[in-house]
Amino acid sequence: MAKSMFEAVAVIGAGTMGNGIAQTFATYGAKVLLVDLSEDALKKGVLAIEGSLARVVKKGVITDADAKATLARITTNSKLEAITNVPLVVEAVSERPDVKAKVFSQLDRQCPPATILATNTSSISITQIAASTKRADRVIGMHFMNPVPVMKLVEVIRGQETSDETTAKIIAASESIEKVPVAANDFPGFVSNRVLMPMINEAIFCLMEGVATKEGIDTVMKLGMAHPMGPLALADLIGLDVCLDILEVLHQGLGDDKYRPCPLLRRYVAAGNLGKKSGKGFYDYSKA
Ligand code: 3HC
């Protein structure tokens, strides 16, 4: 098994992306400190990691002992102050610029100068996040895909001031955990969400206009275009609130109405139907 280039990593945010990132680094031998202000989120995050590792054990990819050793490498803490001496921090807190700015400014004050501060943001400007620190050259986007343990891609996004050295390190670190990094520049939605979200949005317009049923739309894309899952099911997996936030960033940041979020997406989010995580989105997960 390959070994993580960074032997110790702190991951902030124990939600879907954060716990997947923590699991992935720990799988490749890194000691991981998983931080979330909510004890409840930490408990749920660790449960999710246990469940995900159990799937991999069941497949025979790793042994039960490997899974236990991976779990043992992950410690949790509910205070940001607990992050002191790690070479890499990956932030995966909620997609709110004010929250990210606060976290990065505190990390900048308490972490050693050499620590790289990476963000898993799906669309917030890396340059803007870096501006809340005094180390913009060591701030970078490390955008993992959901589900993190399965998806090979890491989009590596350089902010305006990100150095070549930081970029090279994060590319090498991604390869060391057997991901495939792709470098991108700091524009709204980067590459992944700039291409993905208009497709999801258009699928929601199709549903709203009655072009086909939700199952019909998803089947067209699965069987017609060989996508592993249809765009509506994928939106449920990502989170409809996350999709809406990203579309708003694209719409505002690029100033083009082709990115306007579909009113039906707004209605689902307003109703609290956020997809898999809330038990209901375009599909019903309450019995799963
Ligand atoms: N942990 C560990 N392993 C997992 C897992 C998890 N959470 N979820 C799935 N797996 C593994 C399974 O064990 C299985 O392994 P195998 O290939 O060795 O048998 C494999 O993944 C496939 O899983 P399943 O057989 O259960 O189910 P599917 O074949 O339907 O695959 C899927 C599930 C991997 C989610 C697939 O449907 C898929 O690739 N969907 C598209 C996902 C995608 O597009 N993600 C990107 C979203 S965009 C994003 O994240 C960016 C953000 O900014 C919005």
38 and 138 housed in the same domain: yes
In a domain, 283, yes or no: no
In a domain, 273, yes or no: yes
199 and 130 housed in the same domain: no
DSSP for the chain, written as a single string? ----SSSEEEEE--SHHHHHHHHHHHHTT-EEEEE-S-HHHHHHHHHHHHHHHHHHHHTTSS-HHHHHHHHHTEEEES-GGG--S-SEEEE---S-HHHHHHHHHHHHHHS-TT-EEEE--SSS-HHHHHTTSS-GGGEEEEEE-SSTTT--EEEEEE-TT--HHHHHHHHHHHHHTT-EEEEEESSTTTTHHHHHHHHHHHHHHHHHTTSS-HHHHHHHHHHHH--SS-HHHHHHHH-HHHHHHHHHHHHHHH--GGGPPPHHHHHHHHTT--BGGGTBSSSB-TT-
- Is the beta carbon of 234 within 6 A of some atom in ligand 1? yes
180 and 202 housed in the same domain: no
In a domain, 224, yes or no: yes
Which of 19, 52, 193, 201 is catalytic? The answer is: 193
Q: What is the pLDDT of residues 70-82, one digit of tens each?
A: 999 999 999 999 9
Question: What is the number of structural domains in the chain?
Answer: 2
User: Residue 209 catalytic?
Assistant: no
- Is the beta carbon of 130 within 6 A of some atom in ligand 1? no
Q: What is the pLDDT of residues 189-244, one digit of tens each?
A: 999 999 999 999 999 999 999 999 999 999 999 999 999 999 999 999 999 999 99
205 and 162 housed in the same domain: no
Q: Which of 185, 210, 231 is the last residue of a domain?
A: 185
287: which residues sit within 8 A by CB, 6+ positions away?
A: none
In a domain, 99, yes or no: yes
Q: What is the overall mean pLDDT for the chain? A: 97
Question: Probe ligand 1: pick from 17, 55, 191, max atoms within 8 Å of CB?
Answer: 55
CATH code of 49's domain: 3.40.50.720
In a domain, 172, yes or no: yes
Q: What is the pLDDT of residues 87-117, one digit of tens each?
A: 999 999 988 899 999 999 999 999 999 999 9
48 and 160 housed in the same domain: yes
Domain around 247: 193-278
In a domain, 227, yes or no: yes
Here the tokens at position 166 are 């930081």
CB 177 within 8 A of CB 2: yes
166 and 33 housed in the same domain: yes
18 and 120 housed in the same domain: yes
In a domain, 35, yes or no: yes
* Cα gap 217→207, rounded to integer Å: 8
109 and 230 housed in the same domain: no
38 and 82 housed in the same domain: yes
Q: What is the pTM of this model?
A: 0.95
173 and 228 housed in the same domain: no
158 and 18 housed in the same domain: yes
CB 10 within 8 A of CB 21: no
- Is the beta carbon of 127 within 6 A of some atom in ligand 1? no
76 and 142 housed in the same domain: yes
In a domain, 284, yes or no: no
